[in-house]
Structure 1
Amino acid sequence: MEIIILPTPDDVARTAADAIEDQVRRGPSVLGLATGSTPLGTYRELIDRHRNGGLSFAAAQAFLLDEYVGLPASHPQSYHSVIRAEFTASVDFNAGAVHGLDGMARDPQAEAAEYEARIAAAGGVDVQILGIGTDGHVGFNEPMSSLASRTRIKTLTRQTRLDNARFFDAAEDVPDHVLTQGLGTIRDARHLLLLAMGEAKAEAVAAAVEGPVGAFCPASALQLHPHVSVLLDEAAASRLAHRGYYQDTFSRKPAWQGL
């Protein structure tokens, strides 16, 4: 893991956008997009670079990380709607280039298998954006998820439903089930960008980066990936035992800028 500690959330957003821009400018690319509050600054930065810096997504495709079961794509809190409002409608992805799971699929397991096939047919994901939950989940891979899991239906924990209640009128409105890319699916992406900001994420970050690899902290499975960039602000890095080492070794220039 490449641990990059930055002064502020804005610095995290700009550095993540640098990695995505670098990939997109190389040619046709497949991006993995996450929702939630963590990547919002990165998406705003990419929109600005599209509008003012000539960054085009016309040759790119994107795959969403997960989706609520039981919400139609038109629902304002479906991840189809959220990612469109936050990012894709403001740049120049071609029609049909942004792919998501169907939360209303009559057969969720078949939908999950078909989604895996679509990712494979696109050549796999080049850069996957990830956040981390306070319990260490990535995507909706909750604690005790298989480290080799593929896209599938999952039941949300009470903690995750409470964490996501801020996006709904009430906690009981948060769906109980989701479709999510599995940890094995996520680890198939060629470059993982794990973003975390704020002290509330510090304990989960420390467990994911410095703790043992195990299902209790799903994000720890990312330690097994050959190219992970963990972008943290000072608060999210505050529980790291080897914080000084990471700052001395990695913070000055991310590795992808030297490739």
Structure 2
Amino acid sequence: MPTPTPAPTPTVRYYSGPNAAIDSVGPVETANVYSPSVLNANYVISTNDDFKTINVEYNPGSTQIFTERDIVAQIATPPGVNHKSWSVVAADGTRSNFDMIGFKDLPLTYLQLNAFYRKPPSVDQDHYTFITRFAAVSNAWTDPTAMPRTGSATYSGMSYGIAINPSAYRTTSQFQMAADFSSGHLSGNLSNFNFYDFATGLPASVSGTGLDLTFDATLNGSKFSDRIKISGVSAGRVEGQFAGPSAQEVGGSYGVMNADFSLFGVFAGKK
């Protein structure tokens, strides 16, 4: 009998990208739950079997593995947002969650948005002592040499994130960015924020949240980063990158903090 041909070894696919990295060390009432210095910290996810197994490297040398048996029922999400969620509880009670985030009205070809949470058993919903990573990732970032050098384009899309005030809320907003490829200037905004109860996904009334986040950045290859402002006042950072063979999509993360709340999340837009 002929010797069976062994199945080819699956190619490991790596996804990495700009992420809002938040490491809280105490109750949100007293902790610095967002620090600009940790924005865009190391974050890589990898898979070799179409996400049946997911390896999340959330810090250098720190990895969490999720498999198919860890998939959980869809969590309560704001209108227009889709989640696919994985959850693992360690022997000491530490819970790790991984969410893939999608927008019903914004199908993405090159980008993937996700969130990773890790918290010890003593932490409740309103007292976040945990590790969080919100990330826009891709294995198809635009090659810097393929970025447009002339003309301009407008990218429109949405954002998803979390606000702490001091309780936690899920958020969505509109995202828009104008790109002048001749000069390399980018002008973006996140506006019309909506807040939702973290547990139920129902609309929530939150005080002190009249938001208009804006940024002006300069292209660096296919990437950009800049201070982000609330009503013109610098309050955090934004990191982003273009995806697709000719910059068809753009994605990134943001993190801000002012006297009222901490706000962080991911955004994506298309031409």
TM-score normalised according to structure 1 size: 0.24
Structure with more contact order per residue of length (Cα contacts < 8 Å, sep ≥ 6): 1
Specify the structure having the higher radius of gyration (Cα).
2
Larger helix proportion, structure 1 or 2? 1
TM-score normalised according to structure 2 size: 0.24
